[in-house]
Homo-oligomer: A and B are copies of this chain.
Amino acid sequence: MRIDLNSDLGESFGPWPMGQDAALMESITSANVACGFHAGDPGVMRQTLALARVKGVAVGAHPGFPDLVGFGRREMKATPAEVEDFVLYQVAALAGMARAQGVTLQHVKAHGALYNMACKDRALADAIAKAVAAFDRSLILFGLPNSELLRAGQAAGLPVAAEVFADRAYERDGSLTSRTRPGSVIHDTAAVVERAVRMVKDKEVIATDGSVIALQADTICLHGDTPGAADHARAVRRGLESAGIRVTALS
């Protein structure tokens, strides 16, 4: 049994720091690095890549909508062709900066509203998969289990990874409970660890209505922008390892 732990990093911009990248990299195995459209700038990208190399953390591109002030969290009605172009641009920019440091990209995970939309909208999902496949067919595409994004990746011949959230509540249908609902985010570390272990070992999670739902889990996302995120990540990793699960990057 094995699992990957991923986190969104490199989200500083210009004079504005964000996140605790170095501390989180002690526990995670894959870093999703912002590529300059919703966060990150060339200097931040270089520093994040250098840090990941030193810490031995695998690196992926984290392309988002071109909406810096909105942090890529606002839905934008971009066409599939537009999405394909700006995903390719961002993946290529990060991959090239990684290459200059002797680092090879492992994966691609769309960010924020783009990720959420592409998980449900096959045309957007296909656009992302097409961009990634055109650039490098060995890149692993992240997506929610059973999402259009994963299906598009498979259809494009890409390796894919099903991403789960141990600190988020799930609905009976396998979707994430909306953040606007009370209880949608689980803050208790012990509960998160327990859910993480169950997700990996039993490939299931208990939904908000108490039902047990099946769930493929290749990688668990840990949030890096909350206070105590690094401690939380360490606890989740130890909990998984204590349960006999090997925590390792996907590649």
Contact = CB atoms under 8 A, between A and B. Distances in A.
Interface string A87-99: 0111111111101
Interface in A124-154: 131, 134-135
B89 A78 contact: no
A93 B18 CA distance: 24
Chain A, interface residues (CB within 8 Å), range: 35 or more
B96 A88 contact: yes
Interface in A18-62: 18, 36, 39, 41-43, 45-46
Contact of A75 (B16, B76, B81, B93): B76
B70 A78 contact: yes
A204 interface: no
Nearest to A71: B15
A46 B92 contact: no
Contacts of A94: 92
B15 A113 contact: no
A68 interface: yes
A91 B89 CA distance: 11
Given A43-B85, A88-B42, A88-B100, A14 B68 contact: yes
Given A45-B85, A89-B93, 14 more contacts: A14-B70, A15-B18, A15-B73, A16-B16, A41-B69, A42-B82, A42-B86, A45-B89, A66-B69, A67-B76, A74-B78, A76-B77, A96-B96, A100-B131
The 3 closest A-B pairs by CB, nearest first: A92-B96, A16-B16, A100-B134
